[in-house]
Amino acid sequence: MSERYVIAVDLGAESGRVMRAGFDGQRIEMTEVHRFPNKPVYVRDTLYWNILDLWQNIKDGIEKAADGYEIASIGLDTWGVDVGMLDSTGKMLSIPVHYRDERTEGAMDWVFERVPRREVYERTGIQFIQLNGLYQVASLTRDGSSLFDAAHTIFTIADLFNYMLTGTAAAEFTMASTWQAVDGTERADATVKVEAARWEKAANVSAFCRISKPHLLLTRPLPLPLEGLGRLSPLFFYVPCAGRVLD
């Protein structure tokens, strides 16, 4: 078999798993090295993702998968519609709310009072579902959440985990599109790569910015699928009790 391997992290609605895969030029060999539950948690009347438990399991799985193997790359995929936020120092703001939470009740009608339903669909081409990121963000605006006052970066949960892995804050194009907040008519070239100068239009400013705050939009290009975000951050190996980063 191949002497180099890749690691895949897949988070589903009820469980997550970490896989190690190798290719010898003829066949792919895949091994599940870690599986763990994904159980959202109610705190008072809000349903949250158990984000820190998921992160610990991701770390444990990657360490198991890499033990004794040369790893060429790591990829991570999750659900697409939920919202993660960072403050200006790169710290996570709040615990991400689960898409099954009731906060988006009535959010679609609230948006359509400000942006015509037809316009939203013409620009995004995404199915109308009240759990979409557009309506999650709208519910925060509607309900007067103070999170926006501290938010500097907003992106999907997959982007949040990729940020934890690499330190790179970026909204991957296809994941961002699940929010119903990316303007599919503003494609910069045949590869669908959105250039930084066109991000404001591509982020569906006609809808998204009317129901949130413009400063929340990332001002860098949206990475495409298979586009690398960087190397695994040294902080991935941080040992709190020692107060240092391991080599």
Is residue 135 within 8 A of residue 107, CB to CB? The reply is yes
- Res 223: pLDDT: 66
- Res 148: pLDDT: 78
With 0-12 / 13-18 / 19 or more C-beta atoms within 10 angstroms meaning exposed / middle / buried, residue 59 is middle
- Closest CA relative to residue 79, chosen from 174, 183, 212: 174
Question: Is pLDDT of 178 > 70?
Answer: yes
- Mean pLDDT for the stretch of residues 165-192: 71
What is the per-residue pLDDT across 132-154, written as a single tens digit (0 to 9) for each?
988 898 898 888 888 878 888 88
pTM for this prediction: 0.82
Q: Which residue has the higher pLDDT, 131 or 238?
A: 131
- Give the neighbor-by-neighbor strand order of the sheet with 4-11: 28-37, 15-23, 4-11, 70-77
Residue 73: other Cβ atoms inside 10 A? 13
Is residue 41 within 8 A of residue 48, CB to CB? The reply is yes
What is the per-residue pLDDT across 190-230, written as a single tens digit (0 to 9) for each?
333 333 333 334 444 445 556 655 444 543 556 666 677 77
- Res 224: pLDDT: 65
- CA gyration radius, the chain: 19
Question: Is pLDDT of 49 > 80?
Answer: yes
Is residue 30 within 8 A of residue 20, CB to CB? The reply is yes
